[in-house]
Structure 1
Amino acid sequence: MAKGQINEQPDMTSRRSWKQNPEAVRENILQTARAVFVAHGLSGAKMDEIAARTRTSKRMIYYYFGDKEGLYRAVLEDAYARMRRAEDALDLGRLHPVEALRQLTEFTFDHHSRERDFVRLVMVENIHEGRHMSKSEMISGQNSSAIRLLEEIYRRGCDDGLFRPGLTALELHWHISALAVFNVSNRATFSNIFGPDLFEPKGQEMLRRHTGDMVLRFVMKPGLSPEDVEKPPQTKPRMIDPGIYRFLEVLEAQKNSLPEATTLEARRVLYNSIARNLRLPTPPNIETDREDWIDSDGGPVRVRIFRHQGSGPQPALVYLHGGGFWRGSPESHWDTTARLASWTRQTVISVDYALAPENPYPVALKQALAVIAWAREQAERLGIDAARIAVGGDGTGGNLAAAAATACRDAKLPLRAALLIYPILDFDLTRPSCRQNADGPLLRLEDVETAARHYCPDTALLSSDPMAAPLRAERHEGLPPTFLALAANDPMRDSAAQYAEALQRGGVSVTVDEGEGLVHDYLRAQSHCTAAEDKLRIMSDWLYEVFLTPGAPG
């Protein structure tokens, strides 16, 4: 074999392997295009040059981004996303408000000084009057998190009597950005006129510190200075992951783009429509087309089956969606169930149980139990393992899942596991978490009151029957291993935490995830909040390990 042929095969293999990674291809295009747009602007950038500098073709660029403007908009979105992710990692909620504001200001100064391409892209977009950014919901959502972060810091400073009232987070963001952007945007002209000293390392360190001082002196009350402020120990603040705020922006835009919903049925349609519009791509290894109808004491019930393409028999999870008992469907929770099936390599049976108030307690629970029994009886036909069936659900679906696990224990029909995601396990609304998180976001205390009223109008029953409020059960022994995914900013957090304690007292194996920075219903935000997806992967890993464990606890 000739010498030139020896190296040819590894190169081809490397190229083929790289092309088979769509994310790597897309990332390579984005970073190459970023450099070209920075150098030449939007008008001067040539797609031929971008293609020549990547490891792909112009056709592939059009496949991913549509046209030059689509590519430019994606470059802008990526640039802002990178900055916001770096901001998110600062963990400013644990800092004294004076220290937090200084750190955020100096971080912005450093980021712009280090990532000069970011400022130049912003300058290019300003030449175009911001018209490309205005077409991007993603940029709007990403940058709302910066304002929310400043609002939280400013509010804490005001509450401590340090910051003067009457300012807005938007004003503060403008002042911080103005100083940091000028340091880059006018560097060349300023250096040519006045010399380069301020842009040498020593000069930049000095400007960085001065920028923090200027912002703090603007914000602080007269007579106070950053150096003189006593830094008292901080109680743990209520911090929400910025990705949640990004999702809320997109959610609100979706609501505004659809017809107003006034009736109960219209609100259900709106809920499902938004879920469908925001749905993530279904993992390619998951089959989703199969539906079945099961008879039950609560009437016929539909299930949608999410099955991993691997050969059976597979473990199975009977999943009960959230939605306050009165809305939701297997389709509204598609992202969660499809990914659980994919990452756990299992079958997920998603239950379209009858909704309240037309079908009050215990109709939905009867249907859930009928589906579990059906899955066990039809295991061979479904390609699942009857000895490895678990139950799970989120929110009010977590209530149904916990009640079903109790009923199966009492009927001596053991389940392999229970996956309870920010479940509502009783309806006591006097706990501290209810007061702390009464206004949500995503779930408000008044929403829980509505759910309770719809599900079980008999308040005495609701507060005493363990099938309606599983936390109220007299005993919790013999229940299956349970994963409890809490959300730190959920009004019903304390109810779920007490349930975990009750399980532990009963000798049940319990895994608790505190959900720091997250809110009730956070799995709906997976497209904008990486922490939400990370949590679902943790749940999937736990479920996968439980399914691998021999035996059938419970």
Structure 2
Amino acid sequence: MAKDEINEVPDAAARRSWKQDPEAVRENILQTARAVFVAHGLSGAKMDEIAARTRTSKRMIYYYFGDKEGLYRAVLEDAYARMRRAEDDLDLGRLHPVEALRQLTEFTFDHHNRERDFVRLVMVENIHEGRHMSKSEMISGQNSSAIRLLEEIYGRGCDEGLFRPGLTALELHWHISALAIFNVSNRATFSNIFGSALFEPKGQDMLRRHTGDMVLRFVMKPGLSPEDAEQRPQTRPRKIDPGIYRFLEVLEAQKASLPEGTTLEARRVLYNSVARNLRLPTPPNIETDSEHWIDSPGGPVRVRIFRHQSNGPQPALIYLHGGGFSQGSPESHWDTTTRLASWTRQTVISVDYALAPEHPCPTALEQTLSVLGWTRDRASDLGVDATRIAVGGDGAGGNLAAATAIICRDKNVPLCAQLLIYPISDFDLSRPSCLQNGEGPLLRVDEINAMANAYCPDTERQRSDPLVAPLLAPSHGRLPPAFIALAANDPMRDSGAAYAAALKTAGVEVTVDEGDGLVHDYLRAQSQCALAEDKLRIMSDWLYEVFRMAGSA
């Protein structure tokens, strides 16, 4: 496929494109039918409309689902299954029971707010007195897991003397569901009578927190407050590798040279300067001098090529550096890209994409897509195997790499793999990892909020656009195999973990490294932290094997 076919960000219709295979057809019918049932109810939904919107036939729909009621029941089963899978991915068992109950409650509030179709389907089924659900053993089994989850959290809270005895998980589930469903089901009437202030982003953030407060205050023992319990020391204290502290000492000494109120440009210079001063020796088998400028809808973009000296066409990795969308360069991530090229015997094309806030989204993404198109078109000149191209990046670069993979999937542009290193898959700062690691080191929650607003000033788009927050994509199916490197002490750890879970749920092959003892941006510490270099070797081994398998296919 030529470069000009992939170098533009697709519109919403293009992003919903799907490939004609049996599972994709079935999934497309399900999601289209969901929208029709939500809009018209079971009685008002027309099979002809569903068939027309899926570009298939009623005969094909009946082949998969039997009849209209069978299709409706399958839509209900799919909706509940998606919610239960998302609950399972929260990994609440490792959290303090108060924190776990708050997160589950606020997750339910956010899920129903985000997936309003789910609430409308529940309302439609209530009109039918739940008779279609009663015929589905699958829905009954799925929802029993929600009760078991609450039983486990409530039991732990009682064992620790925090929750009052005598309640049931079923009662808790009712209270949580009642608040979360009312927020959607009665929104139109409530807004018309009292105004829409509570349904603006600020009002919803407040109500989410209030919902968690109400459930916790209902369940806490008399005399105990959620705040008292949440302030108890963590059961498992953070463990950070000593090499990270050595790197922090060097970094803080360099930062001390900057005066207060220094400019963004000065901070960018320091970022690159620290990387240059700590740079490890470049592997002798890597050529580093080749640079190119590439035209793109987002303006010209520079790339630096790191190439292994072996002969013949090599696999290629398009690499997007980290730096919070606002700093960094191919040179600041030299240690990472040269070692990836050396240990994987490949070509790494490191992209010097335009930085925010001067160039907000989608400029960097447009440039990345143009680099990918240029690489495919120039593969022979570059000594690259056009059938073995992957994308990768760290932090903000991981976000861009994940979004690029989604676009390529929707445009049927093949990629071998995605290497996502402590990726920022969305900007939800309410997760446990943000509370546990809000003050860093290396990355703080207030910095994440600032960089998100610099990269995408439209805060509503931060919460809705999958090309800004890839976790929000309607589907993560058919994406390339992924390696997701987390950092246990990273505020964005749970964002990366949520993306790994979403890929796994969609059937994508995913390898996860938990990054015990490490922090966000740990690959910058390779000169001081042997563990960081060890982790990069693990990523390289994975990427080498993926490329090897692709070459033998």
TM-score class normalised by the smaller sequence = 0.5 to 0.7
The Cα of 1:260 is off from its aligned counterpart by 6.9
The Cα of 1:236 is off from its aligned counterpart by 2.2
| Alignment partner, residue 140 of structure 1 | none
What is the CA–CA distance in structure 2 between the aligned matches of 1:259 and 1:385, rounded to whole Å? 48
Indicate yes or no: 2:524 matched with 1:524.
yes
Structure 2 residue ranges without an equivalent (≥5):
1-232
Q: 1:261 to 1:278 in 2, by over 3 A?
A: farther
| Alignment partner, residue 264 of structure 1 | 264
| Alignment partner, residue 430 of structure 1 | 430
Q: What is the DSSP-based 3-state SS (H/G/I as helix, E as strand, rest coil) of the residue aligned with 2:329?
A: coil
Contact 1:261 1:267 in 2 (8 A): no
- The two structures have a TM-score, normalised by structure 2, of 0.57
| 2:521 counterpart letter in structure 1 | D
What is the CA–CA distance in structure 2 between the aligned matches of 1:247 and 1:345, rounded to whole Å? 28
Indicate yes or no: 2:266 matched with 1:273.
no
1:40-439 equivalences under 5 Å are 235-257=235-257, 262-439=262-439
The Cα of 1:520 is off from its aligned counterpart by 0.2
| Alignment partner, residue 454 of structure 1 | 454
CA offsets per residue over residues 335-369 of structure 1, 9 Å max, x none?
A: 10011000101000000000001100100000001
Q: What is the DSSP-based 3-state SS (H/G/I as helix, E as strand, rest coil) of the residue aligned with 1:519?
A: coil
Contact 2:426 2:468 in 1 (8 A): yes
| 1:235 counterpart letter in structure 2 | T
CA offsets per residue over residues 184-220 of structure 1, 9 Å max, x none?
A: xxxxxxxxxxxxxxxxxxxxxxxxxxxxxxxxxxxxx
Q: What is the DSSP-based 3-state SS (H/G/I as helix, E as strand, rest coil) of the residue aligned with 1:358?
A: coil
The Cα of 1:514 is off from its aligned counterpart by 0.1
Q: Which protein shows a greater Rg? A: 1
What is the CA–CA distance in structure 2 between the aligned matches of 1:411 and 1:261, rounded to whole Å? 45
Q: 1:552 to 1:441 in 2, by over 3 A?
A: farther
Contact 1:261 1:270 in 2 (8 A): no
Contact 2:424 2:495 in 1 (8 A): yes
Q: 1:551 to 1:508 in 2, by over 3 A?
A: farther
| Alignment partner, residue 171 of structure 1 | none
| 2:489 counterpart letter in structure 1 | N
| 2:266 counterpart letter in structure 1 | A
What is the CA–CA distance in structure 2 between the aligned matches of 1:409 and 1:252, rounded to whole Å? 42
The Cα of 1:258 is off from its aligned counterpart by 6.4
The Cα of 1:242 is off from its aligned counterpart by 1.0
What is the CA–CA distance in structure 2 between the aligned matches of 1:479 and 1:330, rounded to whole Å? 26
| Alignment partner, residue 108 of structure 2 | none
Contact 1:466 1:473 in 2 (8 A): yes
What is the CA–CA distance in structure 1 between the aligned matches of 2:508 and 2:552, rounded to whole Å? 13
Contact 1:421 1:485 in 2 (8 A): yes
What is the CA–CA distance in structure 1 between the aligned matches of 2:456 and 2:474, rounded to whole Å? 20
Q: What is the DSSP-based 3-state SS (H/G/I as helix, E as strand, rest coil) of the residue aligned with 1:290?
A: strand
CA offsets per residue over residues 497-551 of structure 1, 9 Å max, x none?
A: 0111110111100000000010000001111111100000000000000000136
The Cα of 1:269 is off from its aligned counterpart by 1.0
Indicate yes or no: 2:537 matched with 1:537.
yes
| 1:301 counterpart letter in structure 2 | V
Contact 1:522 1:532 in 2 (8 A): yes
Contact 2:416 2:550 in 1 (8 A): no
Q: 1:448 to 1:239 in 2, by over 3 A?
A: same
Contact 2:306 2:348 in 1 (8 A): yes
The Cα of 1:259 is off from its aligned counterpart by 7.0
Q: 1:377 to 1:335 in 2, by over 3 A?
A: same
The Cα of 1:257 is off from its aligned counterpart by 4.9
Contact 2:421 2:485 in 1 (8 A): yes
What is the CA–CA distance in structure 1 between the aligned matches of 2:385 and 2:428, rounded to whole Å? 38
| 2:367 counterpart letter in structure 1 | Q
What is the CA–CA distance in structure 1 between the aligned matches of 2:528 and 2:348, rounded to whole Å? 24
Contact 2:286 2:306 in 1 (8 A): yes
| 1:405 counterpart letter in structure 2 | A
Q: 1:336 to 1:261 in 2, by over 3 A?
A: farther
The Cα of 1:254 is off from its aligned counterpart by 2.4
The Cα of 1:443 is off from its aligned counterpart by 0.6
Structure 1 segments of 4+ aligned residues over 4 angstroms from their partners: 257-261
The Cα of 1:235 is off from its aligned counterpart by 2.5
CA offsets per residue over residues 275-312 of structure 1, 9 Å max, x none?
A: 11111111111100000011111111000000001112
What is the CA–CA distance in structure 2 between the aligned matches of 1:354 and 1:549, rounded to whole Å? 34
Q: Which fold has the larger relative contact order, with Cα–Cα distance below 8 Å and residues 6 or more apart in sequence?
A: 2
- The two structures have a TM-score, normalised by structure 1, of 0.57
The Cα of 1:261 is off from its aligned counterpart by 7.1
Q: What is the DSSP-based 3-state SS (H/G/I as helix, E as strand, rest coil) of the residue aligned with 2:550?
A: coil
What is the CA–CA distance in structure 1 between the aligned matches of 2:519 and 2:434, rounded to whole Å? 12
RMSD of the alignment, in Å?
A: 1.6
Q: 1:424 to 1:252 in 2, by over 3 A?
A: same
Q: 1:291 to 1:260 in 2, by over 3 A?
A: farther
The Cα of 1:255 is off from its aligned counterpart by 2.6
| 1:516 counterpart letter in structure 2 | D
| Alignment partner, residue 179 of structure 2 | none
What is the CA–CA distance in structure 2 between the aligned matches of 1:492 and 1:350, rounded to whole Å? 23
Contact 2:388 2:550 in 1 (8 A): no
Q: What is the DSSP-based 3-state SS (H/G/I as helix, E as strand, rest coil) of the residue aligned with 2:237?
A: coil
| 1:351 counterpart letter in structure 2 | V
The Cα of 1:478 is off from its aligned counterpart by 0.5
Q: Which moved more, 1:273-282 or 1:396-405?
A: 273-282
